[in-house]
Amino acid sequence: MDGRSAMKAPALTAARAGLVACEACHLLSRPAGAGESGFCSRCGEKLEVRRHGSIATTWALLISAAICYIPANLLPVLDTTTPQGTEGDTILGGVAFLYTSGSWPLALMVLIASVMIPLGKLVSLAYLLLSVQRGSVKSGRERTRLYRLVVIIGRWSMLDVFVDTFTVALVQLQPLMSVAPGQGVLFFAAVVVLTMLAAESFDPRLIWDCVDTREPAHG
């Protein structure tokens, strides 16, 4: 099957052919019943034509993540105690510290991983959800690419959690200086985990279902 013939003919998807593909081992099989697809006879994974409650679950996780994003940025992630007193550092404060101490490449890296990636994920997933709910047929390929990008780079926003963990683990030099994790760390970790789960619960095939039903002849 070459690319052109597939684009011209009405797209034959597994769902349209009455088949369900296993998400773990990719085996194609016929659903066991009308409502329930049953389990994969090869690997035992639960079969679903489309991920169950994909849009509602993704929205729920995404909104929770957006709420956590606010305290994650406002509350300090590290509390540094010296004989002069205790000082809190937010994520942006940490970026500023790296920048002023002369390591701007690292400052940029932390800025991208901790601020831009989580924000980008929230915006991208919201856009994907809205485009599917509005039944958009445009740029399916680009939207699928965007989804894959969200899945691949999502893990890098854990960076700041690890930075804080190892700073805390090493700088325990009482009474000279000690560093404790702040309340912001928990919220920030929650943003990362919730957006990763949101990306996993979103079903990219929904993007193409709109394309297939609206424009069967042009793909």
Partner 1 sequence: MDARLSADAVACPDCDLLQRIPALAPGGRAACVRCARSLAKQPSGPRDLPLALTVAAAIMLIVCNTLPLMELHVVGRFASTTIAGGAYEMWLQGQRITSVLVAFCAVIAPVGYVSFMLVLLIAVRLPSVPPWAGEMLRWVGHLQVWSMLEVVMLGILVALVKIAELATVDPGIGMYAFGAVILLMPAIAVNVDRREIWRRVVWMDAAR
Q: Which is nearer to partner 1, 130 or 141 (CB)?
A: 141
Write down the least CB distance from residue 141 to partner 1, Å: 6
Alpha helices, DSSP H only, in 154-201?
159-170, 184-201
Least Å from the CB of residue 130 to partner 1: 19
Closest CA to 78 of 95, 91, 96, 69: 91
- CB nearer partner 1, residue 45 or residue 87: 45
Closer Cβ to partner 1, 121 or 205, answer by number? 205
| Shortest Å, Cβ 89 to partner 1 | 10
Residue closest to 188 by CA, chosen among 168, 163, 169, 167: 163
Within 10 Å of residue 146's Cβ, how many Cβ atoms?
A: 19
Residue whose C-alpha is closest to residue 160's, from 64, 80, 76: 76
How far apart CA 158 and CA 191 sit, in angstroms, is: 9
Give the Cα separation of 82 and 67 in Å (integer).
Answer: 33
CB of 126 to partner 1, least distance (A): 19
> CA–CA separation, 58 vs 70, rounded Å?
19
Smallest gap, in angstroms, from Cβ of residue 150 to partner 1?
12
Rg (CA), the chain: 23
Q: Closer CB to partner 1, residue 14 or residue 130?
A: 14
| Residue number with CB closer to partner 1 (62 or 110) | 110
Helix axes 184-201, 140-153, angle to 10 degrees: 140
